Structure 1
Amino acid sequence: MDPRISFVTLVVRDLARSRDFYLSGLGWTAEVDVPGEVVMIRAGDKLVLSLWQEDAAVAELGPIGRGEGALPFTLAHNVDSPEGVDAVLASAREAGATITADPVTRDWGGYTGYFADPDGFRWEVAYNPGPIGQSVL
């Protein structure tokens, strides 16, 4: 099996709110938009971010569990400069995100901060000057 991720699906409580955040707030474009069910956004050459309405997802996945605190994973949006990190975090805040960690210079040489979308999914916004960081730009 080739190492590959084709879709990242976020099961959201209120699809209309999430749609508004990602499309109107962040300015992203939907490739598929089925009201009350799913919004799919091209996030890379061969990667789609899917927002799936929770009650629609339960029929296929079964019960959805949510607890207190951050979910045990993050998503990342890499940019080409520290100033880009600040700009993306400002845009996310304007769109209604909660900044959960102000940007700081990390020990490994990068500059990162975090925001939470309306459902609490954590997004790292990162400038990573190393080879792996530059390879995703």
Structure 2
Amino acid sequence: MDQRISFITLATRDLDASRRFYVDGLGWTAALDVPGEVLMLQVGEHVVFSLWVDTAFEQEVGPITRGPGVAPLTLSHNVATREEVDAVLATARAAGADPVHDAVERDWGGYTGYFGDPDGYRWEIAFNPGPIGEVVLP
């Protein structure tokens, strides 16, 4: 198996709210948009971010576990400067992200903050000055 990820798929309770957030709010472009079913956005040369209505997700994948707290994963968007981190967090806030945690200097030398999308999935916005940070920047 090749060491790569082709799709990142998240179940969403309200696809219209997700579309408003990602497409209208953050300014992303849909690669495929099937109202009431799925929204797909190409987020890399060979990577698609897919938001799938939760009932259809469950039919294919299995029951979704829900409960208090945050889903045990983050999605990360890395940028080249600390200023870009702050700018992206401001854009997310203007798009209706809730919560938005302002960026702080991290012990490992980076600068990161977080926001939640309409379903509560957490996005990390990061400046990573190390070698691995260079790998993920276009």
CA distance in 2, matches of 1:43, 1:60: 23
- Structure 1 residue 29: Cα displacement: 0.3
Match of 1:98, SS state, is coil
Is contact 1:114–1:122 with CA below 8 Å preserved after alignment? yes
Cα distance in 2 between the residues matched to 1:100 and 1:92: 8
Q: Secondary structure at the match of 1:88?
A: helix
Question: Residue in 1 aligned with 2:122?
Answer: 122
* 8 Å Cα contact 2:113/2:124 also seen in 1: yes
Q: Does the residue aligned with 1:134 lie in a helix, a strand or coil? A: helix
- 1:55 equivalent in structure 2: 55
Q: List 4+ stretches of structure 1 deviating above 3 A.
A: none
2:26 matched residue in structure 1: 26
What's the CA shift for 1:124? 0.3
> Is 1:16 aligned to residue 53 of structure 2?
no
2:97 match: 97
The superposition leaves residues 76-117 of structure 1 with CA deviations (integer Å, 9 ceiling, x where unpaired) of 000000000000000000001023422001111110000000
CA contact (8 A) 2:89 2:100 kept: no
Contact 2:86-2:102 within 8 A present in 1 as well:
no
Structure 1 gaps, min length 5: none
For structure 2, list consecutive stretches of 5 or more residues without a partner in the other structure.
none
Q: Counterpart of 2:112?
A: 112
Q: Does 1:36 align with 2:8?
A: no
In percent, how many aligned pairs have the same letter?
64
Normalising by structure 2, what TM-score? 0.96
Q: Which moved more, 1:91-100 or 1:70-79?
A: 91-100
CA distance in 1, matches of 2:74, 2:90: 19
Cα RMSD (Å) of the superposition?
0.9
1:9–1:49 Cα contact (<8 Å) kept: yes
